[in-house]
Structure 1
Amino acid sequence: MTKLRTLLLATTAAIALAGCAGGPTPSSMQPAPAVQVTAAGTPLAAGKTEVLWLGQATTRITTPGGKVIVIDPWLTSNPKTPAAFKQLSALGRVDLILVTHGHFDHFADAPALAQMHKVPMYGPAGMNQTVATLGILPADLAPRFGKGGTIAPFGPTGPKITAVRAEHSSELAYKNPATGKDEVHVGGEPVGFIIEMENGFKVWHMGDTGIFGDMKLIGEMYRPDVVLIPIGGHFVLNPQDAAMAVRDMIRPRYAIPIHYGTTPQLRGTPAEFIQALGGAGPRVLVPEPGQKMDF
């Protein structure tokens, strides 16, 4: 109850800052219709999508069908990770791992988590080629796909994941165990992920990105319901650019700011993001690390 109360207060404050009227709380957002079916007549899951943010870009999504997808896991050394999640086992069951690019604060705990659960770590093709070549993970745990590609790792009625553009870089830092020296390797091109749940609900995890014009195209093509968008600035979008992106280009129902406040360079704040929206655009949700949101 304490966590829920804190989340409700944070969300209420966000709405007040934005100058918006009241709306549903994160735990009571409009769910998907009770029954949906595929073209073949197979019923789709009718539950909720749970989003758990754990600081920086680390996110655990539980789909309506119960699949657990972890994105950009940086937990053990992340200063914003709640103490309860400093151990990777605290995530519980994990069915799939997604990594948007090779930088440490997105990649750090992904190989260990993949080995722990014996599940694939999907990421940019170039990055995963390097991961397999260096022996960080075996090839079967580092499958490759790239921008425009869509995977259905749980079968035709499970969630679908599409890699889309992100405007960033993706170097992969590696300490060579033979020499003890730090090396930098090819990390492919950074991506974001559109995750379409079993009931059609869509989440766009943008990873790290700056502004780019095709955000509008991606928004029109996939129509994401929720966007997890970086706002910290310096390496990623600042609050003002992030506000323009969601208000004028992507137009989702909900926006969740991520990738801020972890290092001194990431100065952007949710309050600045909300202020920059000027009372327009999507509903902004501002969880604390470790808080869940149900959609």
Structure 2
Amino acid sequence: MRTPLLRLFTVLASGLLLAACALTPPPAAPGAAQAKAELLWLGQSTFRLTTPSGKVIVTDPWLRPNPKTPAEYKDLAKLGKVDLILVTHGHGDHIADAPDLALMNKARVIAPGDLNMVLNTLGVLPPELTPRMNKSGTIVPFPDVPGLKITMVKAEHSSLFAWKNPATGKIESHYGGEPVGFIIELENGQKIYHMGDTGLFGDMKFIGEYYKPDVLLIPIGGNFTTAPVDAAYATREFLKPRFAIPMHYGTNPLNRGTPEQYMQALGQTNTKVVPLQPGEKFSF
């Protein structure tokens, strides 16, 4: 028979055990800790990035006019719900579908601040969808995902926004701000460097050393951007990512660079090149 003291000890021990169980978080769902990011390449500089927490970010949306876009994605709705749009500069092959995609999803467009001001003042997009930021600026676009960050960095290119004036029916050229690239830091700490349209420049070394990108989205077409040899030099000497995905090639006769030329120029490195076809995905 239990003594009163033993019964008291048993009750107290049971209470402490229940409290400890209540404070212990439930086990993670299978595979939750290993959630991966997914990149779907749709040609040129357009990617649909799905982050580990499920946020969807589209870069440089040029889909309907792009000859390399898979037929399915000529319909913007087939992208699914889009949470954020990143635009590196004002050229048509990077921004053409951004306004419609933004309005369709009520998604903000993160672009060079001066370009967003132009989109706003021309009435292309409303102020709530055209926030302002600039190079070296970092934002946390989703309050519920504090680990997901977007930083603007330099790109060596130009930027002009061609707009058809509805009153005159004529095409007008408007200043498109300075071109940029984006460092996308994911919830799991991995970093993607979307280089936009850029030529080779010395500060790529700083970007490599400071941001330490894991995945590089690098233009290789030449003429308008780095050619395969320049892209290989930047990859090998400056950026040194774990993965590199070639982009911005093969959409017109002037974008002559190929992944094969890029890989040949790159030679033996620790970077794994992932040459995708439009419509193919890469998870990491």
Of 91, 101, 108, 1:103 maps to: 91
Report the AA paired with residue 281 of structure 2: K
1:136 & 1:57 partners in 2: Cα distance?
22
State the match for 2:168 in structure 1: 179
Does the 8 Å contact 1:246/1:281 carry over to 2?
Answer: no
Indicate the SS of the match to 2:217: strand
Post-superposition offset of 1:46: 4.5
Moved over 4 A (4+): none
TM-score under structure 2 normalisation? 0.87
1:277 & 1:118 partners in 2: Cα distance?
41
Of 249, 257, 262, 1:268 maps to: 257
Which is greater in Rg?
2
Report the AA paired with residue 58 of structure 1: T
1:117 & 1:136 partners in 2: Cα distance?
15
Task: Confirm or deny that 1:142 pairs with 2:117.
Answer: no
CA deviations over 1:81-126 (Å, ceiling 9, x no partner): 0011110001001000010000000000000000000110110001
1:274 & 1:142 partners in 2: Cα distance?
38
Task: Confirm or deny that 1:214 pairs with 2:203.
Answer: yes
Task: Confirm or deny that 1:65 pairs with 2:53.
Answer: yes
CA 1:45–1:182 in structure 2 vs 1: closer, same or farther (change >3 Å)? farther
State the match for 1:12 in structure 2: none
CA 1:45–1:184 in structure 2 vs 1: closer, same or farther (change >3 Å)? farther
Equivalent runs, 1:1-295 vs 2, <5 Å: 46-155=34-143, 157-295=146-284
TM-score under structure 1 normalisation? 0.84
2:176 & 2:231 partners in 1: Cα distance?
25
Structure with the bigger RCO (C-alpha within 8 Å, sep 6+) is 1
Q: How many residues align?
A: 253
| 5+ residue gaps, structure 2 | 1-27
1:279 & 1:45 partners in 2: Cα distance?
32
2:258 & 2:137 partners in 1: Cα distance?
33
Indicate the SS of the match to 1:144: coil
| 5+ residue gaps, structure 1 | 1-34, 36-43
Post-superposition offset of 1:157: 2.0
Post-superposition offset of 1:45: 6.6
Root mean square deviation, CA, Å: 1.2
1:95 & 1:148 partners in 2: Cα distance?
22
Post-superposition offset of 1:278: 1.7
Post-superposition offset of 1:69: 0.3
Bigger mean CA deviation after superposition, 262-271 or 149-158: 149-158
Indicate the SS of the match to 2:111: strand
Bigger mean CA deviation after superposition, 189-198 or 156-165: 156-165
* Aligned-residue identity in percent: 62
Does the 8 Å contact 1:65/1:158 carry over to 2?
Answer: no
Report the AA paired with residue 134 of structure 1: L
1:122 & 1:106 partners in 2: Cα distance?
13
CA 1:67–1:158 in structure 2 vs 1: closer, same or farther (change >3 Å)? farther
CA deviations over 1:210-233 (Å, ceiling 9, x no partner): 000000101111111000000000
Does the 8 Å contact 1:45/1:198 carry over to 2?
Answer: no
